[in-house]
Amino acid sequence: MLLREIADQLQMSVLSGEANLRTDAHFAYMSDILSDVMAKAKKESLWITNMTHMNVIAICFFKTLAAVILPDGLKPEEDVLAKAHEKNIVVLSTPLTAFDIAGRLYELGIRGE
């Protein structure tokens, strides 16, 4: 499913990476433990996390993840968003909880690792 479709259906705000919203995503991974994401997240997966610091952008870039989804209306600081823009990383934010995001993604056909 295209990131644009996912963002629209889940009423997510696109904070960066607008040019990459035509990327397909079929998998998602949810963790706040960076080493877990590095070891287990598949390429082009969605990453659901509560973390908003610079390391999130670095991991998305190095793992070639499709997007990072921030629950509960979380938003990164401006310097983090600037780096996301520079690296063309899709950062999405939603008022939904992480649990609800996972359930809604599952309903859309997105599966876990």
Judge contact between 89 and 80, C-beta under 8 A.
no
CATH architecture designation of domain 3-107: 3-Layer(aba) Sandwich (3.40)
Instruction: Please check the confidence at residue 4 and state whether its pLDDT lies above 80.
Output: yes
97 SS3 class: coil
Domain ranges of the chain: 3-107
Distances (CA, A) of 76 to 21, 39, 73, 81, 83: 19, 24, 10, 6, 11
pTM: 0.95
- CB-CB neighbours of 74 under 10 Å: 17
Confidence (pLDDT) at 61? 97
- Segment 60-96, tens digit of pLDDT: 999 999 999 999 999 999 999 999 999 999 999 999 9
